[in-house]
Amino acid sequence: MRIFILGFMGVGKSTLGRLVAEQLSLRFLDFDMLLEEHQGMSISDIFTRYGEVYFRKLEHDLLREVVQTNDHFILSTGGGLPCFHHNLEFMNDHGQTIYLKSDAEAIANRLGHSTGSRPLIAGKSVSELRQYVEETLSRRNHYYAQASIVIDVDLEANKEANVNLIVNTIRQVID
Ligand code: S3P
């Protein structure tokens, strides 16, 4: 079983995905970390040196490689991955996609604490960040909405509540 965790930056894809994988005894893969290891470079450096178009091509290629060489995992994707190069269709064809949904305001509040390592929002003021999240989320909704499962996550709730919600949803799909 391949499970892909999707969602905007800051919704907790990596943190929650890791905990969910532990509970389900599935291998956990963090796509951004895999990409950094693969390239020997941080995501920020890839954006700075080569730009977003190149980064999206790397994502596309690595996604296919990971899927071709693994068939049992929970993978947390980068926030933009499903929205480029037919990656969402590809993931839907090869496993279950789970969209961790939250609203722009909650996401912007969450991201306010951690813009540094994220090149698309680095250096933005609070109001610029809010505007960026609103605009980008409304563009990306079209893709995220095509996930096979949509789960509303409460970014204010404790992690356990969200982990249980995701685990229970996956169990229903597996059974
Ligand atoms: C991106 C999200 C990031 C990372 C890159 C681009 C995006 O991942 O892939 O900075 O386009 O939303 P996280 O969602 O894990 O922060």
Domain harbouring 50, CATH code: 3.40.50.300
Predicted local distance difference test score (pLDDT) of residue 157: 87
Atom of ligand 1 nearest to the CA of 119: 10
The pLDDT of residue 117 is above 90: no
Q: What would the pLDDT profile of 3-15 be if each residue is shown by its tens digit?
A: 999 999 999 999 9
**Could you tell me which residues come within 8 angstroms of residue 1 by beta carbon, excluding any fewer than 6 positions away?**
26, 71, 72, 95, 96, 174
The pick from 120, 135, 140 for probing ligand 1's pocket by mutation, whose C-beta has the most ligand atoms within 8 angstroms, reads 120
Average pLDDT of the segment spanning 104-127: 87
What's the predicted TM-score (pTM) here?
0.95
Expressed as residue numbers, the domain containing 15 is 2-174
Bigger pLDDT: 112 vs 48:
48
The pLDDT of residue 115 is above 70: no
Predicted local distance difference test score (pLDDT) of residue 113: 72
* Number of domain units in the chain: 1
Average pLDDT of the segment spanning 117-144: 94
Atom 4 (ligand 1): residue with closest C-alpha? 78
Atom of ligand 1 nearest to the CA of 136: 12
Give the CA-trace dihedral at 110, 111, 114, 117, to 10 degrees. Answer: 150
> What's the mean pLDDT when you consider all of the chain?
95
Predicted local distance difference test score (pLDDT) of residue 109: 93
Give me ligand 1 centre to Cα 10, in Å.
9
54-63, 117-126, 135-144: which range is least confident on average?
A: 117-126
DSSP bridge partners of 85: none
For ligand 1, whether the C-beta of 112 sits within 6 Å is: no
For ligand 1, whether the C-beta of 7 sits within 6 Å is: no
Predicted local distance difference test score (pLDDT) of residue 96: 96
The pLDDT of residue 175 is above 90: no
**Could you tell me which residues come within 8 angstroms of residue 12 by beta carbon, excluding any fewer than 6 positions away?**
100, 153, 155, 159, 162
Q: What would the pLDDT profile of 43-71 be if each residue is shown by its tens digit?
A: 999 999 999 999 999 999 999 999 999 99
**Could you tell me which residues come within 8 angstroms of residue 149 by beta carbon, excluding any fewer than 6 positions away?**
96, 97, 98, 99, 169, 173
Give me ligand 1 centre to Cα 111, in Å.
12
Predicted local distance difference test score (pLDDT) of residue 94: 97
